[in-house]
Amino acid sequence: MRVNRFLRVRTPLFDGVISADFKWQGTLAEPVLIGDARTTSGRIIFPFGSLEVSRAQASFASSDQDGPQLLINAAGRNYRYEIRLDLKGPMNGATLGFTSTPPLSSERILLMLTAGELPEQENVFSATSKAGRVVSFLGQGFYNRVVGGEDTDDRRIIRSGGSLTPGGNTTSYTQYKFSR
């Protein structure tokens, strides 16, 4: 069974469209799924930033004791940093790595994206500002469940935190993609 762009996924952590190429093996009592699910576009969402997915794949084989093999590559600009995420390996033991330009450790990048902790020499969010961003992040998932997504949601993107101004404020932008 090969299906292109068959599943729209919208969660508080990921927004994208999935394609699949699967086949079933085994018996009805013990079916085995073989193949892969993939996407070449999407967005991984953190409370203080996001990363565009260039490739994500989960490959299922009959011999996978540790779950499917994962391969995810994503990148994005957050607070003057070009950040890259690479995840590879079996689901139960995948290695996750972050890199950035200018360089930061994986731990610092993760703190920046999840808790708004910027390196000491840069602007620091107030406790109130951090709490507001986290509440907004959590509330967006609730809003999408209650209101439901419209067809225009995948064409409208609102982001903040791409850069810092000389005064220490974060920038934001709105992007709207037009169709034919």
Q: How high is the pLDDT of residue 16?
A: 92
Residue 108: in which H helix or E strand, if any? helix 106-115
Angle at alpha carbon of residue 165, lines to 160 and 170, rounded to 5°: 25
SS3 132: helix
pLDDT at 96: 94
Q: What is the pLDDT along the chain (180 residues), one digit of tens a residue?
A: 888 888 888 888 899 999 999 998 888 888 888 999 999 889 999 988 899 999 999 999 887 788 899 999 999 998 889 999 999 999 999 999 999 999 999 999 999 998 888 876 555 555 666 566 566 656 666 555 555 554 445 555 655 555 666 666 666 666 666 666
How confident is the model at residue 156, as a pLDDT? 57
Look at residues 10, 8, 17 and name the one whose alpha carbon lies nearest to residue 38.
17
DSSP code string of 11-51: -SSEEEEEEEEEEEEE-SSSEEEEEEEEES-EEEEETTEEE
